[in-house]
Each structure stands twice: as structure tokens, then as C-alpha cells.
Structure 1
């Protein structure tokens, strides 16, 4: 196996902020039926030298499918990605009017939102608004098919009024129980994805503009989710994340499924 290891990348750049470290953690383990190669699988910063505690779980499994090779990803990969991007200052998805279409029927202004929440326009008349959506925790995964799965997560949302002097006043905070479908594809050793919204439930956590029914915001936030937030995430997912693929190894007939506390990618391959 030495030629394979020599030509397998152990560190790959994802974007201008992060890379993934696939360094082997110990020698390959060979049995009568399997070859197991334990890899590190952590995101690392390309701009800051900062490490975070990592406690990867033990991943003992054998593929129940018929594919030739299996690649398992634990929650530590996603945890490390969140730390790296947060350290780079990416802690929220920001939405202001500049990210909406000019003729949007849901403008981010206290004048419009005041028609939904009467107490808002009285305290903050004629102001621009901003929405911050926090980075989500690890989602709950439900496997649907060989290329598709459902992810559920709770998002923390803060909504602000922006004064003419650019100071921010917190209007209210929400939690969004979201369910999305993740469609996966693999090409040239890179995993890509595409999200689509299944459902969203809104809960009011705190308000500085009086109580109101969360239902008045449902259509608004479905629109923002479909027109702003999900397209932002999809632009990144569609660029893909490279796997540690040895040179001249070509995958086909892949499958993706959750197993215990990690995700498994299975595939057949040709070597030439």
C-alpha cells in the first residue's frame, strides 16, 4: 500500500480560510477482509495558528452495502469547521436590504414590519433592519435515499433596527426549527451538496417591541430562507469538499448514509 499512501493528499485547501487535514493517525490496519486507514479529518485555519480540542469517536464499522470502499466522517470534522470559520469572524449570516431584491415584497424596514408587529413602528419608525442568523449546531440526520438526506436544526435569530447613525437596537430574538433536504453528489473526488427547504417553525424567544404571534413572520422567513440564506449556503456547498483520494483512483456508484454518530460515503472505484 506504500505507493497509494505516497500519492494520497494529506492536506487540502477548501477556500481562502480553511483546509482539511487528512493526515494518517497511525499505520493502516490490515485484516483478512479489510484495510482500515485512520485519518485525522479536521478543518484547520489557513490564516490563524489556533487549535481546538478534538475528541473523535471510535468508528468501528464494516460497510453493509456492496461498495468497494467506505469513507466515514465523524462529528469532529463539522465541529472543527465551525471553530475555524468562527475564528475567522464568520459567526452569523447577515441579511440587510442590500441582499434583497429591490422590489422585494418583504423589505427589511420597520415601516413594513410595523404592519405585522404594531409595537415596532411606534418605537422605531422609518428605520432599516438587519437579521443575524447564528451558525447552526450539528443537525439531526435522517437518511432518505442513496444521494439524499433530511437535516433538522434549530437556528438562533437576532433582528435589529439600524438607526441613521448606524447603531443597532435589538428588536426581538427567534429560534427557527428548520428541516432541509441535502442532495449530495461526488465528482472527481469532491463531495458537493445542494440544500432545499422542507419546513420551518418560528418561536419568539424575546421581544423589545411587545408580544406578537410568530405566525405573522412565517411567510417572511420562508422567503428569506429560500431567497437569501439557503442560496448563500448552496454557493459554498456546490464548490465541494475534496476527499483524500489517491492519484488515478476514480469513483463511481457511490452511496451516502448515516451510521451511529457519523456519516459514511461508500463507492466503487477504478484504478488506472
Structure 2
């Protein structure tokens, strides 16, 4: 049972489509495997005390007859658990060996010898427990599968002291009891371990490959091929395609292959391709999440223009004549999904958006005015500093066209000029200020990345990192 939990936790830390290639790749190195094992050892030391062991029953021939016994209500009072030895088994999975495990157990006993029935409590030490196993990792129906084809176990011995009742009568025969109990414990270790692995396999089989990210999108986390196990690490290739929850469809582009470099000096490496990022943008676009309604109170007070028909008179002369001094709102949305490209240290972004303008007669009555179609492109640099994503964003181009109008034709040139000024004066400085301060890397609660390094490659972005866990902070 204990070993099953150990392996289950290990696998959980690794954590169809048009994708011919994986859009997400993850690698756990030997260094990472050792760290995971260290965390699990600490966790098991704390958790073992809560385990209730199954009762043990049998009979021992003491020369004048057979004493039937039942040991029950057993709990672990102390556990000395050396850190297991783990290694990747190339082409197969993970070899695991626990050697020198010792457990102190207390519980109750009942005996039956003819017409004599007795009971009491006992203390037992199970020492030098050894388990050797091979965990085979594979792929079944596009998800991770696990089995334990090889398992061997041994128990160095058992020492027991019986108390209460007529225990003094049976204490001389403890060696006979201990031998039987040792054999029973030895016989139960591998079947219990394999039952646990089978339970974990059933759990993996029942897991959905569609992981909900937020109310708008989900991501397909199915495997594209079997886990790649080398002597120095474990690689998982994941579909990594995003879909709109309400309007799922394939994007009008296909994934390309990419090869994530295995970093032996880091615990974990993660890689996301352009397809992964752009499928997310496409999914959010399909879900209608990439839009915002802009009111005047959202515009900086220092801006030379505000959302008021009279204020925009210098840009659109007929606007204040037709609708004098009326508040306005803009609905800004993507016409097509944004496209993001990774080009060796640089990130390029192409954005096709539209802005619909309304004069607000009241809070609920909006008068349509015009629609502007905006084409823009940006370049960005990103890096990780002290576990914060930092960088800068620069506008490369911006053009504006009049897409539709209910107030007549007007010149777009002054609006384009004003929009460029607003981007360079207000929007980009604010964005770059946030990027300069840095954005925290998202991570599982209780764990945090350290020594992280981000690289922008041709077609994908990669992050190599070490990881700190709760036990590390306590130390």
C-alpha cells in the first residue's frame, strides 16, 4: 500500500485533434527524478502514521497443538524510511528500490488454543524491508499507462512483544509467530504493490484528456506517442491544442515538429510550440473572450482625446454636429485570431482588430456611429529574471481603415496618427512597465520554480527549471 502511494505521487508530479505533432513537450531529468523521490520520502515519513494495516491471522504449531492467532487494529508508530534508489530504465520506465525500511507497529492480538481464548496488545518491529520493482510506462488510448511487470520483496525479520492476558504463555513462542508473520508480510508486499499500480492505472484510464483551463477554453492533454525513456530522463509529448468550450473547432493552421533540448542540469524542461500558443489565441477568439468595451473612465486623464462626441470633433468634424456632447463607448474586438511567431530570441505578434464606436444616449441605449478596422504588428523580447517573466513590447506597424460608418465618410489619417500616439505614449509604456517589474511564473501551489531559464527558439519557446517544494522551505 505504501509503495503504491509512493509511485502514484511520483507519476502525478510528471503530470482527437488535427495535431500530427506534439505542441507541448515535457522532460523530467534524472536530477528531477531524484528530487521527486526526496519529496515523496519526506511526505511518506509524515503520512505513514495514519495508515491502518490489514489484520494478520494464522496458526502456529507449538508442539502440543496449534495456536490460532489474529493481529488486528495495527497502526504504524514510527517509520525509518531511507530515500529510495530510482533510475530511468531506458526504453521501459523507472526502476525503484527501497532498501532498509523499518517500521514500528502496535496493535491488538487474539489467540485461540483449544478452549483457551485470550487477548491483549503487542509491539512489533518489522525491519530491513526491501522492495525492488520496475515501473513500465507506455501509452494506451492516447494517455499515460503504467504497469509493474517485475517485483520482488523481502523482510529481514520481525521482533514482537505481547502484553496483557496470558501473553507470558505465548511469549516463548514469539520466534515461531515471527517467522510466520515475516513470511506473510513478505508474501503481501508485491501483490499489494501491484494492486496499487492497477488502481492507479484505472485512475489514469478514467482521466479525461480534455482539461478545462477557464470558462472559455480547454486544452487537449492526450499523448501523441509513447513516453520516451532514456537513461537520463523521461520525455512526454502532449497534443497541447486549445479549444473553445462553447464553439470548438480546428484552427486554420497545422502544427509543426519541434525538438526540445534535454537539459540534464535542470530538473524539468518544458516546451510550447507556436501551434500551442496560437491554438489558444484561436480558441479565445472563437469563444468571444478577446473583446473589451472601453468607457471614458478607462482612458488616462492625460490623454488629449476622450470618449465624448465633442472631444473627438477635431478628428471627426461631423460627429459633434450630429450628436453634440454625448458620452461614447468603444467595443474593441479581434476580427481574426492573433498570430504569434517565435523567431530565435524574438516574439512577433500580428493582430487584426476592429473598434465599433457608439454614442451613449443612456446607459442602455447605444447609437452606432462607425467601425474602424485596425491592423497592427508588434515585436517582443522575453526572459526570466529571479523567477519573473520580464521583457519589452515594441509596436512595429499600425494601420487603420474605415470599415463602416453611419455618420458619413471622414478622414482616417488623423485618427491613425492619434492612435499611434496613444499606443506609444500611454499603452506601451504601461505594458512595458509591467514587463519590467516582471510577471510571476504560474505553478502548482506549494511548489515554486527556481534557476529558471527561458529561450526563444525558431518555432517554440522553452523553459528549463529546478523546483522547490514544501519540504525544501522547511529545511
Q: Normalization by structure 2: what TM-score?
A: 0.44
Instruction: Structure 1: state its 5+ residue gaps.
Output: none
| 1:141 lines up with 2:337 in the alignment | no
8 A contact 1:100–1:228 mirrored in 2:
no
Pick the aligned partner of 2:236 from 37, 61, 69.
Answer: 37
Q: 2:283 aligns with which of 83, 103, 113?
A: 83
CA shift at 1:112, angstroms? 1.6
**1:264 and 2:461 aligned:** yes
Q: For residue 28 of structure 1, what is the aligned residue in structure 2?
A: 227
- Give the aligned partner of residue 162 of structure 1: 360
Partner of 1:199 in structure 2?
397
Cα contact 1:150–1:179 (8 A) shared by 2 = yes
**1:152–1:230 CA distance, 2 compared to 1 (3 A):** farther
Q: Which residue of 2 aligns with 1:209?
A: 407
| Greater CA drift, 109-118 or 25-34 | 25-34
Greater C-alpha Rg: 2
SS at match of 1:151: strand
What is the aligned partner in structure 1 of residue 455 from structure 2? 255
SS of the aligned residue for 2:305 comes to: coil
Query: Which runs of no fewer than 5 residues in structure 2 stay unpaired?
Result: 1-6, 16-208, 469-475
Specify the SS of the correspondent of 1:112: coil
Aligned length: 256
Alignment match, 2:297? 98
Q: 1:92 to 1:62 in 2, by over 3 A?
A: closer
Inter-partner Cα distance in structure 2 for 1:185 and 1:11: 30
Q: Which residue of 214, 224, 248 maps to 1:52?
A: 248
After TM superposition, give the deviation of residue 225 of structure 1 in Å.
Answer: 3.4
**1:71: which partner in 2?**
271
Alignment check: 8 A CA contact 1:20 1:41 kept? no
TM-aligned CA distance change 1:222 to 1:164, over 3 Å: same
Higher helix share: 2
Distance 1:131 1:203, change over 3 A: same
**8 Å contact from structure 2 (residues 241, 276) kept in 1:** yes
User: 1:27 is paired with a residue of what secondary structure?
Assistant: coil
Written as runs of structure 1 = structure 2, the 5 A alignment for 1:87-126 is: 87=287, 90-126=289-325
Contact 2:348–2:377 (CA under 8 A) maintained in structure 1: yes
Greater mean deviation of Cα atoms: 73-82 or 213-222? 73-82
Cα distance, 1:197 vs structure 2: 2.8
Asked whether the equivalents of residues 384 and 453 of structure 2 are also in contact (C-alpha less than 8 Å), the reply is: no
Separation in 2, partners of 1:233, 1:194: 5
Specify whether residues 186 and 21 from structure 1 end up closer, same or farther in structure 2 by C-alpha distance, changes over 3 A only. Answer: farther
Larger CA deviation: 123-132 vs 248-257 = 248-257
Give the 3 Å change call, closer, same or farther, for CA 124–117 of structure 1 in structure 2: same
Deviation string 1:14-69 (CA, Å, 9 cap, x unpaired) is: 7x756875735253135799964222424578xxx657235794543335x79665
CA–CA separation in structure 2 for the residues paired with 1:20 and 1:188: 30
Give the drift of 1:216.
Answer: 0.9
Following superposition, the deviation at residue 79 of structure 1 comes to 3.0
- Aligned to 1:37, what secondary structure does the other structure show? strand
Structure 1 residues 162 and 251, CA, compared in 2 at 3 Å: closer, same or farther?
Answer: same
Relative to structure 1, the CA distance from residue 223 to residue 96 in structure 2 (aligned partners, 3 Å threshold; closer, same or farther) is farther
How far did 1:105 drift? 1.4
SS of corresponding position for 1:117: coil
Distance change (3 Å), C-alpha of 1:178 and 1:57:
closer
Q: How far off its partner does 1:183 sit? A: 2.8
SS in 2 for 1:102: coil
Deviation at residue 110 of structure 1 after TM alignment? 0.7
**Does residue 8 of structure 1 match 2:14?**
yes
**1:11·1:21 contact (CA, 8 Å) conserved in 2?**
yes
Shift of 1:201: 1.4
Which of 30, 47, 61 aligns to 2:258? It is 61
* Distance (Å, rounded) in 2 between the aligned partners of 1:151 and 1:54: 21
SS in 2 for 1:101: coil
Equivalent residues of 2:242, 2:280 under 8 A apart: yes
